[in-house]
Amino acid sequence: MIPSLSPAEVRLAFLTRREIALIDLREEDPFAKDHPLFAACLPLSRLETEALDRIPRKDTPVVLYDNGEGLIAPAADRLRRLGYCHLRQLEGGLEGWRAAGYELFQDVNSYSKAFGELVDTRRETPSVAAGDLQALIDSKADIVVLDARRYDEFQTMSIPTGISVPGAELVLRAPELAPDPNTTIIVNCAGRTRSIIGAQSLINAGLPNPVAALRNGAIGWTLAGLTLDHGQSRKFPDTAPGKALEARARAHTVAERAGVRRLTLADLAQLTKERDRTLYRFDVRTPEEFAAGHIAGFRSAPGGQLVQETDMFAPVRGARIVLADDLGPRADMTASWLAQMGWDVYVLDGGFSGPLELGRWKPTLPALPAVETVSPSELAAELKTGGALVVDLAPSPQYRKGHIPGAWFVIRARLAEAFSELPEGQPIVLTSSDGVLATLAAEETEALSDHPVRVLAGGTGAWIDAGLPLETGLTRAASPPDDVYRRPYEGADHAAEAKQAYLDWEFGLVDQLARDGTHGFFVI
């Protein structure tokens, strides 16, 4: 039996900033429909592949909940195997929270988005309408449009003339892109949050240029009937040393105003020894800089995304966060926002002069069980004779993009239900993107199957590397593809009504924050 915590006890922990992780075990789409403000989506399907990084301290108070789907017991069992020892369940689950009269939020990254709306309300961040920006572009006005999203998002769709400058880079890079103080800087994202935070970052840092957010971002652009660019590759240039030092001074002042504290390497070593508090260590530089050399123990979390997706990177509310950046402004600006969001956040001074680790960040995984495997070439031969049934546990977007011909899409947490949809009479071969999730799921699949279960060595990635053919689309789904929440601004087929409803939801977040009463945000 898993002990319970009442909704009131969980809410009190948020109010008093005691360390707690409230974990929603459902898939992302149902999570996005309703959840408490500080809940984090960590689906049962991916629990072992994400928990060790997202909840790094094994005796963190972890509270699990679902909406009656029966996910808590298997999740608790898996977490206990990983060494977590302070597990509770939310009394009454999601409905218990609702019955207590507490606020429920929609969408993903809800509290980061709500914070952005609070900043906009408190600071009255300047903005420009889509039509007015188009007129400025058409007239070749003295403006520069900076896109604060990830580079891959920018490549998917962008405002004409826009340049990719992910959020934490803005204070560092904008002076290089707009050296004339008379040049107006417009910051955009897909919706509102990163536009607001990006524009306000430049204002907080005291840049002399006129600054504004693109009102309602790319959503507002398309609602105005304007055309987006696709496949663009414009990126920020390197920053001259003199401008980098100036940006560092500006950002340092903002961080001080927000109450950010600073650590030396010796301080960090002492902090790391303290076992009664969760400590997150994030490198907020670009992924390329991280791969070229980073401080051991730090995870890559580019600053703009860390502010936008804080619940994904740091689901343990009340934890400490330490940020690293060899140039300084990105850590200082990111820390300034996290501090205003109620985090105990520090900036590491130095640390990049010693030996550094190389390579991109890789998730921390548990020891994988021994399973029977099959190579891509062996599986290809078996499929020609109908000797195997392939079950693909990859995320639905990856399955749609390309999967082994004849494979069935299944969400791991719904394996039992999926068996009623799968063809009978064939041995099962499990696959996933790299084979890890398939390996973890082999034992539970074996318990459901009347036939042997094997795992494709290296997963679908190895199949692709072997030059074997792929099939695209959601061709055979034994589970509904609700593992991913599709944002209203993703894809050309989303109706204008859905996009407007999304904006209306964002506009209402400040009132929701007031009703919820647990956030503890402040705005400098």
What global pTM score does this model have? 0.95
Local confidence band at 505 (pLDDT 50, 70, 90 cut-offs): confident
d(CA 127, CA 217): 10
Where is pLDDT greater, at 461 or 491? 461
Provide the percentage of residues in the chain whose pLDDT is more than 70: 99
Residue 494 pLDDT: 58
d(CA 307, CA 311): 9
pLDDT digits over 148-176, tens only?
999 999 999 999 999 999 999 999 999 99
> Does the pLDDT value for residue 481 go beyond 60?
yes
Instruction: Give bridge partners of residue 214 from the DSSP assignment.
Output: 128
Local confidence band at 519 (pLDDT 50, 70, 90 cut-offs): very high
> Does the pLDDT value for residue 488 go beyond 80?
no
d(CA 495, CA 473): 22
Local confidence band at 200 (pLDDT 50, 70, 90 cut-offs): very high
Lowest mean pLDDT among 44-53, 257-266, 422-431: 422-431
Residue 487 pLDDT: 75
Listing DSSP states for 61-118 in one string gives: -EEEE-SSSS-HHHHHHHHHHHT---EEEETTHHHHHHHTT---B-SSSHHHHHHHHH
Rg, the chain, Cα only: 24
Task: Read off φ and ψ for residue 484, nearest 5 degrees.
Answer: -130, 130
Instruction: Give bridge partners of residue 21 from the DSSP assignment.
Output: 62
d(CA 444, CA 416): 9
> Does the pLDDT value for residue 497 go beyond 90?
no
- The answer to whether residues 429 and 454 touch, using CB atoms and an 8 Å cutoff, is yes
376-387 mean pLDDT: 93
Local confidence band at 206 (pLDDT 50, 70, 90 cut-offs): very high
Residue 486 pLDDT: 83
d(CA 155, CA 233): 6
384-402 mean pLDDT: 95
Fill in the DSSP letter of residue 274: -
> Does the pLDDT value for residue 493 go beyond 80?
no
CB atoms closer than 10 angstroms to residue 181: 10
Local confidence band at 491 (pLDDT 50, 70, 90 cut-offs): low
Minimal CA–CA distance to 214: which of 190, 235, 182?
A: 190
Contacts of 73 (CB under 8 A, 6+ apart): 2
15-40 mean pLDDT: 97
- The answer to whether residues 375 and 384 touch, using CB atoms and an 8 Å cutoff, is no
d(CA 469, CA 173): 43
What is the edge-to-edge ordering of all strands in the sheet holding 408-409? 373-374, 453-456, 428-431, 389-392, 408-409
* Structural tokens at position 344: 């105990």
**Can you state the percent helix, strand and coil of the chain, rounding each to 5?**
40, 15, 45
Where is pLDDT greater, at 507 or 333? 333
Residue 46 pLDDT: 96
Local confidence band at 499 (pLDDT 50, 70, 90 cut-offs): confident
* Sign of the torsion formed by the C-alpha atoms of 292, 294, 297 and 303: negative
461-480 mean pLDDT: 96
- The answer to whether residues 342 and 520 touch, using CB atoms and an 8 Å cutoff, is yes
Residue 489 pLDDT: 63
Residue 158 pLDDT: 96
15-27 mean pLDDT: 97
Residue 356 pLDDT: 96
* Structural tokens at position 353: 């002069």
Provide the percentage of residues in the chain whose pLDDT is more than 90: 93
Instruction: Give bridge partners of residue 403 from the DSSP assignment.
Output: 471
Cα dihedral 304, 308, 310, 312, rounded to 10, equals -110
* One-letter amino acid for residue 11 of the chain: R
Minimal CA–CA distance to 500: which of 191, 212, 193, 187?
A: 191
d(CA 351, CA 222): 45
> Does the pLDDT value for residue 437 go beyond 70?
yes
3-class SS of residue 169: helix
Residue 500 pLDDT: 85
> What are the chain's domains?
4-110 (3.40.250.10), 121-231 (3.40.250.10), 260-348 (3.40.250.10), 373-465 (3.40.250.10)
Residue 255 pLDDT: 98
Lowest mean pLDDT among 9-13, 137-141, 449-453: 449-453
d(CA 64, CA 96): 13
Contacts of 88 (CB under 8 A, 6+ apart): 2, 3, 4, 5, 61, 62, 63, 64
